[in-house]
A = this chain, B = another copy of it.
Amino acid sequence: MWMEIDLQSEVPIYTQLVDQLIEGIASEQLKPGDPLPSVRSLAADLGINLHTVNKAYQVLKQDGFLQVHRKQGVVVQPGGMPGTDAAFRAKLARGIRSLAAEAAVRGMSETEFAEQSAAVYRQLTTKGEDAK
């Protein structure tokens, strides 16, 4: 598996997992319908507890990014991803505001900030190209 966990990080392990799985979908390394490793095998691969993996899967299921089948395991949501609903836009605005404020204080200009945002977005969504 192409995931990496930083056990020393202050950000919870399950959150790291959630982020990386979303990035995997964004970069099309994970496509709708693709199967994901079972909680047990992924936990073993990463050297963490299966409950931690399970929590990440539950969060993503809750948000509509994954489906958990009774027996076949976990798959990437096949029928289209959830859109930019109000909850997400609020979350996005909050996240950007916090980052933008500190960037502004540290002297980064509006265009620099916007370009940085665009650059990170582009890098993410074209990461999958390397794998081809």
- CB within 8 Å of B: which residues of A? 7-8, 12-13, 19, 22-23, 25-26, 62, 65, 67, 69-70, 72, 81-84, 88, 92-93, 95-108, 110-111, 113-118, 120-122, 124-125
Contact = CB atoms under 8 A, between A and B. Distances in A.
Copy total for this chain: 4
B13 A70 contact: yes
Given A25-B101, A84-B103, A104-B121, 20 more contacts: A7-B69, A8-B67, A19-B97, A19-B98, A26-B101, A81-B105, A82-B106, A84-B107, A88-B102, A92-B99, A92-B116, A93-B116, A95-B99, A96-B117, A96-B120, A100-B117, A101-B124, A110-B121, A117-B117, A117-B118
